Amino acid sequence: MTTNVAYQVMWNRLISVVEEQAQALVRTAFSTSVREAGDLSAGVYDTQGRMLAQAVTGTPGHVNAMADAVAHFIRRIGRQNMFAGDVYITNDPWEGTGHLHDITMVTPSFRDGVLVGFFACTAHVVDIGGRGFGADAASVYEEGLYIPIMKFAERGAVDDTLVRIIRGNVREPDQLIGDIYALATCNEIGHRRLSDMMDEFDLPDLDGIAAFILDNSRRATLERIAALPRHSATGEMRVDGFDVPITLRARVTIEENCIVTDFEGTSGLDKKGINCPLVYTKAYACYALKVAIAPEIPNNAASLAPFEVVAPEGTIVNAPHPAPVALRHIVGHFVPDVVFNAFDQIVPGLVPAEGAGCLCNFQLSLRPADDAPDGARRTEVLTFNSGGSGARPELDGLNATAFPSGVMTMPIEATEHAGPVIIWRKELRPDSGGAGKTRGGLGQFMEVGAMPGFEFDIQAMFDRGDHPARGRRGGQAGAPTRIAQDDGTAMRVKGKQFVPAGRRVQMAFPGGAGYGDPAERDSALVKRDLARGYITAEMAAEIYGLTETDIADILRAAERGEAD
């Protein structure tokens, strides 16, 4: 009989197995979105398609959406059609992770000819054809190549016809096919490590360890819910949208054995591609509540099950097919702050202030201009960047850090290596973090252009232009997003926009909001922020009340290199 101690060791081993799976994907992927930003997920599942363990590396949107995906693969493929050496693929937004730019691959794991589980992984790819990555499409049919749940390989033989179809429909065929093979390979590595583990522990199947993981996770999560007050509250946010603002509204209700989040009252579908399938909304709503009440309980099917998410079909958080959904992350990344706004009324003093929310993404479609060098070709360059996160009750917000996605900011060198791009400026944005007892995280300044001989279209994927992050409990708002060309030409925060050769785009990404009354901020922290350049002398004086003498002394010390 296997003891609980042995099962705990196996559980930890499973987590290490899927983390190695994820790291293999990072090391072998072709796209910078995976290799540099970590926009991926990896996990292991039992034979019923229930997620047992997820990799630490990855995003909540991918992981929690993928938690539901394997069941769709089982239903579509059919158990009787599954064989050792198979690999399955899809980018279905409603049965995968929310938009066509995410490739999800599932591999059945067989042991001695018997199916014992599944490995799954997801990666964001730079191009999937269609209009390209952006919000301009009017339906999902315009947004790129659709791959239904199907076999990429059967009994180890790759479907060459599928590969040719994919290559014939995308702008970067080598890159995309390289990513697909990287996804398949990382699942294979997970399978090998699982086989080694099962040999070591002499396990004929995963039934025992699966029951141990799921039972303990469910019980621990229910205990946390039971300790909460039986209350209900509504949170609301206003964000930019594409052409018109969007209202996001969520009612959070604490019940005996679950927490229900209902998005009744949220805006309807947008005409452009910022709509969000329910699977992605659910992923981030569950994530928000889980990090609030049970952050140390491992993430799996059972620990997610008590978080119920509902939304009326046809709202922007429950977009049905064929709504355009390419930038579903913009709305999805705001979901945690909406949920936090409700939860803060039920359990005060626990959740952070609002942050930048969605990633500060942009994609450049570069093409040769009249004076292009010989051999110049069209190139797609995608880069991920971040605004500031919201201040926490006891700690400042994080500078230039993506919350809730956790996606990493791409290094300048990696972006410039991907194509004829020049990043002229990339630095923290002073005064962008909202003032408070704890300060919001800073956003960034970026200035980008093309190498001589190239013009480009920029796909802007920003928000917070007209609706900056709001402070909590007396904290002030963060700075809004700003974007313009270097000659002063105004630009929109969303959509494809042309930039002629020689012009640059200047962007100021939003800051997180503050928490608590700024008058209560420790003066030592204000002086530290001024010395580091996080705030200007004007903010130090006007908002935090620092004296002219103190400001002068701090700035002189900073010039001498003596500041903290």
Q: Residue 56 has which token pair?
A: 């630490």
Q: Residue 509 has which token pair?
A: 């990404």
d(CA 230, CA 121): 37
| 24, part of any domain | yes
| 242, part of any domain | no
Burial of residue 17 (CB within 10 Å: 0-12, 13-18, 19+) is: buried
Task: Point out which residues pair with 111 in neighbouring strands.
Answer: 114
Q: What is the largest CA-CA distance in the chain?
A: 78
Q: Residue 129 has which token pair?
A: 């054809």
| 560, part of any domain | no
Q: Where are the extended beta strands (E) located within 35-86?
A: 40-45, 51-54
For every one of its 564 residues, what pLDDT tens digit does the chain have, with 9 covering 90 and above?
A: 578 899 999 999 999 999 999 999 999 999 999 999 999 999 999 999 999 999 999 899 999 999 999 999 999 999 999 999 999 999 999 999 999 999 999 999 999 999 999 999 999 999 999 999 999 999 999 999 999 999 999 999 999 999 999 999 999 999 999 999 999 999 999 999 999 999 999 999 999 999 999 999 999 999 999 999 999 999 999 999 999 999 999 999 999 999 999 999 999 999 999 999 999 999 999 999 999 999 999 999 999 999 999 999 999 999 999 999 999 999 999 999 999 999 999 999 999 999 999 999 999 999 999 887 888 889 999 999 999 999 999 999 999 999 999 999 889 999 999 999 999 999 999 999 999 999 999 999 999 999 999 999 999 999 999 999 999 999 999 999 999 999 999 999 999 999 999 999 999 999 999 999 999 999 999 999 999 999 999 999 999 999 999 999 999 988 887 655
pLDDT computed for residue 74 by the predictor = 98
The residue among 240, 219, 341 whose CA lies nearest residue 288 is 341
Give residues with Cβ within 8 angstroms of 6, minimum separation 6: 201
Which of 503, 521, 539 marks a domain boundary?
521
Which of 218, 244, 262 marks a domain boundary?
218
Give residues with Cβ within 8 angstroms of 385, minimum separation 6: 359, 360, 361, 362, 400, 409, 410, 444, 446, 509
Q: Residue 482 has which token pair?
A: 């700003």
Residues 368 and 510 in one domain: yes
- Residue-number span of the structural domain to which 25 is assigned: 4-218
DSSP secondary structure letters along 530-563: HHHTSS-HHHHHHTT---HHHHHHHHHHHHTT--
Residues 57 and 205 in one domain: yes
d(CA 64, CA 51): 9
Q: What DSSP state is assigned to residue 373?
A: P
Q: Residue 304 has which token pair?
A: 């997610």
Number of domains in the chain: 2
d(CA 234, CA 255): 15
| 303, part of any domain | no
d(CA 341, CA 25): 36
d(CA 510, CA 385): 11
d(CA 145, CA 91): 9
- Neighbouring CB atoms inside 10 A of 557's CB total 14
pLDDT computed for residue 1 by the predictor = 56
For residue 378, the SS3 value is coil
d(CA 327, CA 150): 24
| 535, part of any domain | no
| 11, part of any domain | yes
d(CA 321, CA 279): 13
| 142, part of any domain | yes
Which of 218, 235, 257 marks a domain boundary?
218
| Helices and strands (DSSP H and E) totals, the chain | 14, 19
Burial of residue 248 (CB within 10 Å: 0-12, 13-18, 19+) is: buried
Could you tell me the pTM of the whole model?
0.96
How far is C-alpha 473 from the chain's CA centre? 27
| 306, part of any domain | no
Q: What DSSP state is assigned to residue 307?
A: E
